[in-house]
Amino acid sequence: MTDKLRLRFAPSPTGALHIGGARTALYNWLAARHEGGELVLRIEDTDHERSTAENVEQILDALRWLELDWDEGPVSQAGRAPAHALALARLLESGAAYRDSATAKDVEAWKAEHGAGSGYRGTPTEEPGAAIRLRVPDEGETVVEDLLRGPVAFPNRSYDDFVIARGDGSVLYNFAVAVDDAEMGITEVVRGDDHLSNTPKQLLVLAALGHEPPRYAHLPLLHGPDGKKLSKRHGAASVQELRDAGYLPAAVRNYLALLGWGTDDDTTLMPTAELVARFRVEDVGRAAAIFDEKKLRWLNGRFMRELPLDDYTAAVARHLGREPDEQLRAACEIAQEKAQTLEEVWPLIRFLFEPPVDDPKAWAKVMKEGAGELLAAAASALEPVDPFEPAAIEAALAPVLDRFDVKAGKLYQPIRVAITGSSVSPGIFESLAVLGRERSLQRIGAAVERLSTGQLDV
């Protein structure tokens, strides 16, 4: 094959892009980029009932967020109706297809009579409103040469003379796909496993039209935690949901790539460039995989920690809808090591932007007897610290520990609760430093005050 590789991603806009679709898009993209081929985006919108413009926009939005670009399109399949009509006329002309007025009920009755193993064979009619069916041979088999599983043979007689166009002339999926793939010069079709049994139909259409078929690779499906095929009605995680949950596109790409594909040296963490360099469709596994968010979380944390601070700040800002200013940057710097998702950042840095939260449990847990005294001592120790930086703060607090002869946690936890309201925060010295001397002393003072008035909340 000297043909330049040309792939296509062809989603149907009947809902948001879910992770299974996203993985298919990613694999097509990786295959194209790996070989320096082209990727065409085609929207399979021949079902007017279910296809909506909003869904198309959602899919484009998802692909853009994933940073998967395409070289051509989006091409509307419905927009190619004239080309479909032409191909249809040719088949009618050659006798490869015929009009048949049978309804679904008629077909059912026919099958009841001829046995379950036989595909329906209709009776040609001149009736203008009748649907158009493709003539399927009774003998022989149609073989799909699949890149992942080798040849897969399907007996022709198990297929109906299937409908390729409705009575009104609008075409159906298996016909449109075959025509489009051929006419758009697609050399390799990478799509979900759920299309494997439909491929013989497309091969039959291609043969009737005299087109050379593309190569096919049918990816194993992605299953939900219930083991079933992932679908929109599943409520399965859409790409947008992953974004809202605070995942990084690069981490999602890495994770999705690993669902069904692995390297022989067990590399897990791979930047996109490495994915592109190493990915080969023929290396994809054959068994369905289940989406497991835990591993995505871990992977995402790895990517987050490796981000340069400015990029990290920008990502957090975008997620929070804030400006990536100096204050946010300083907050991000002390939180970067601790968050696995962008969503987890705010609870850690919130105290720098708002008054301490009110968490009775945290307060009750650490504000025990002696806490007030310790906090008062800590405040005095912090007062003269200059510059107000982590190392200096730690040095100033150390003597307090000795004087009261308490373990570090005895002092630091009350301080943490005093300045953040929560028992969880970034490192205590860093937190104090970024909060600043004034606000720190003020909050510690408030806590001492609250303790002295006997408010030992439960």
Partner RNA sequence: GCCGCUAUCGUCUAGGGGACUAGGACGCCGGAUUCUCAGUCCGGAAACCGGGGUUCGAAUCCCCGUAGCGGUACCA
What is the CB-side half-sphere exposure of residue 349 using CA atoms within 13 A? 23
Identity of the residue, 52 or 454, whose beta carbon is nearer to RNA in the bound complex = 52
Identity of the residue, 325 or 358, whose beta carbon is nearer to RNA in the bound complex = 358
Task: Show Cβ contacts of residue 373 under 8 Å, excluding neighbours closer than 6 positions.
Answer: 404
Joined together, the tokens standing for residue 133 give 């069916």
Joined together, the tokens standing for residue 397 give 């607090």
As measured in angstroms, the least distance from the Cβ of 158 to RNA is 4
As measured in angstroms, the least distance from the Cβ of 257 to RNA is 9
Identity of the residue, 4 or 365, whose beta carbon is nearer to RNA in the bound complex = 365
As measured in angstroms, the least distance from the Cβ of 221 to RNA is 5
From 111, 229, 232, 338, the catalytic residue: 232
As measured in angstroms, the least distance from the Cβ of 39 to RNA is 18
Is residue 232 part of the annotated active site? The answer reads yes
Question: What is the C-alpha to C-alpha distance for residues 42 and 83, in angstroms, rounded to an integer?
Answer: 15
Identity of the residue, 1 or 287, whose beta carbon is nearer to RNA in the bound complex = 287
Identity of the residue, 312 or 412, whose beta carbon is nearer to RNA in the bound complex = 412
As measured in angstroms, the least distance from the Cβ of 95 to RNA is 20
As measured in angstroms, the least distance from the Cβ of 120 to RNA is 7
Identity of the residue, 82 or 227, whose beta carbon is nearer to RNA in the bound complex = 227
Among residues 447, 327, 446, 436, which one has the least CA distance to residue 382? Answer: 436
The set of catalytic residues is 232
